[in-house]
Amino acid sequence: MSVDAYCERLGPGLWAEPLNAITNLAFLIAAFLLLRHQAPPSLRALPILLALVGLASLSFHTLATSLTGALDSAFIAVFVLYYVVVFTHHYRGVRWSRAWLAAPAFLVFAIGTGLVVRVGPGICSRSH
């Protein structure tokens, strides 16, 4: 069963979200370009995760199933949480053992913010 979660979705077909699908190529191109640079192993994981975000998002915006939607959200969450840890270590100079605490701290912050700023219907609200 197709998930209709975006304004752009034109129907249940494979290319029913053409712009969302095509723009996911940017994730893959960026990942490829970033992988070409020499970096510590912890930073080399970021372009790999970025490519997984691009592939999961591409699958969601073409297949539009509950599973591909869950994969899309999951890979974005993993990328963001890992980025927070890597940023904390490499750019703030925090030891790895403490940098890993940034992920649960960010989760608490994000969930708290989400509860405070309850977002109503989007600009694409439509009745079915």
Whose structure tokens read 């980025």? 83
Both tokens assigned to 50: 């970025």
CB 99 within 8 A of CB 89: yes
The counts of H helices and E strands in the chain are 6, 0
Predicted confidence (pLDDT) at residue 125 exceeds the cutoff of 60: no
**Amino acid identity at 76:** I
φ, ψ (nearest 5 deg) of residue 5: -110, 0
pTM: 0.83
Per-residue pLDDT tens for 84-120?
999 999 999 999 999 999 999 999 999 999 888 876 6
Per-residue pLDDT tens for 13-46?
777 888 888 899 999 999 999 999 988 999 999 9
